[in-house]
Structure 1
């Protein structure tokens, strides 16, 4: 189960028991509601059952969004071992694709941007760390093992094993996300 991989990652970082984390960690609440809602969304349940369950899950998502400041729509695609480092201000577009073992901090926006053929939503690959208040937007791809520094605006694709910083973000080195994830 994907949620189990999320809990294991939180346990690894905090050293706290799973029950304590589930009770006290807002990022984990948001991920839990997302995982359940996404499971319903992807299921092959009959529409007569699926639609009411999705409606209920949307209500829970909105409630979580209000109390945590974390918006993760059920239609986003997020891999295993997802970690939200801090409370609030996190917006993830409904069509976002985020790979396995990614970490995001508070204030991160992953969204739509651009014009014409360049308009779209980012694809974020595996083992990516996105720092506080960063914005990743547009029809771009963030490669494996990348680091997006705090307060950066990423509007261009980033190759694997890169660290980016700035507005707009530029590659500053080829250090990977090892040590951040």
Structure 2
């Protein structure tokens, strides 16, 4: 137990450059408070103390702004950065060394029964405001870009962006730096840039055709 609690503190020092020491993290990081409250609530849930577990999770939500259902299974060294607005559903499963930023929802679609929330494997990063909805698996070392809405399974070592979320990088190896969640490919912007280049090409061709037509008319007029 103490090893787990120490890991929860040390992962903040490892991933947040603003964190200076364990005491500061212990007293001021709401993500750590929410995770520790969840670990206790999850223990109660396992003992079928459902009301007490839910009560504790709601008290934690009130103080931290982070809602974690006591039924969710959370691995070692979860890092919730800032955390306000984070929602983690009942049947959600989170592996080890996962990073979650503020405004993230790991929820269901409202139509499923049983396992209805996502499973995040080890070393997954979910960036600010992303929504991962439904019973699907996010593979190891994958990254979900800020504001993305993920509705389908994500293979390991992938980068997902957009609404709906689509895989834009998958090369079988770890993608970049775990915390570099702003410099991600944007397939929609890429498509617009491609259309812009095509439009410029068409305009040049049209201009050339008009020039040739004008030259031809001048030549015929002289004749």
Same fold (TM over 0.5): yes
SS of structure 2 residue aligned to 1:32: helix
- For residue 28 of structure 1, report the CA deviation from its aligned partner: 0.8
Identify the range of structure 1 (99-108 vs 1-10) with the bigger mean alpha-carbon deviation: 1-10
Mark the structure with the bigger radius of gyration: 2
- Of 15, 31, 34, the match for 1:27: 31
Name the counterpart of 1:47. Answer: none
SS state of the match for residue 171, structure 1?
Answer: strand
> What is the root-mean-square deviation of aligned Cα atoms in Å?
2.2
Matched residue, 1:46: none
For residue 177 of structure 1, report the CA deviation from its aligned partner. Answer: 5.0
Give the Cα separation in 1 of the matches to 2:175 and 2:81.
15
Aligned residues: 172
Unaligned residue ranges in structure 1 (runs of 5+): 44-49
1:126-168 superposed Cα distances (whole Å, 9 cap, x missing partner): 1000000000011211001000000000001000000000001
Equivalent positions of 1:1-181 (< 5 A) are 1=1, 2-14=4-16, 15-42=19-46, 51=49, 55-113=51-109, 115=111, 120-174=116-170, 176=174, 179-180=177-178
Unaligned runs of at least 5 residues, structure 2: 180-223
Larger strand fraction of residues: 1
Matches of 1:60 and 1:115 in 2, distance apart? 27
Question: Which region of structure 1 is more displaced relative to structure 2, 62-71 or 132-141?
Answer: 62-71
SS at match of 2:90: coil
In 2, the alpha carbon distance for the partners of 1:42 and 1:76 equals 11
1-structure distance, mates of 2:11, 2:112:
39
In structure 1, the residue corresponding to 2:160 is in which secondary structure? strand
Contact 2:142 2:175 in 1 (8 A): yes
Q: Quick check: 80-89 or 2-11, which moved more?
A: 2-11
Normalising by structure 2, we get a TM-score of 0.70
- Give the helix-richer structure, 1 or 2: 2
Quick one: distance in 2 between partners of 1:155 and 1:169? 7
Call closer, same or farther: CA 1:38–1:177 in 2, change over 3 Å: farther
Please give the alpha-carbon distance, in whole angstroms, between the structure 1 residues aligned to 2:110 and 2:58: 27
Give the alignment's TM-score, normalised by structure 1.
Answer: 0.85
Q: Quick one: structure 1 residues 177 and 27, their matched pair in 2 at CA, closer, same or farther if it must change by over 3 Å?
A: farther
Residue pair 2:68, 2:89 contacting (<8 A) in 1 also: yes
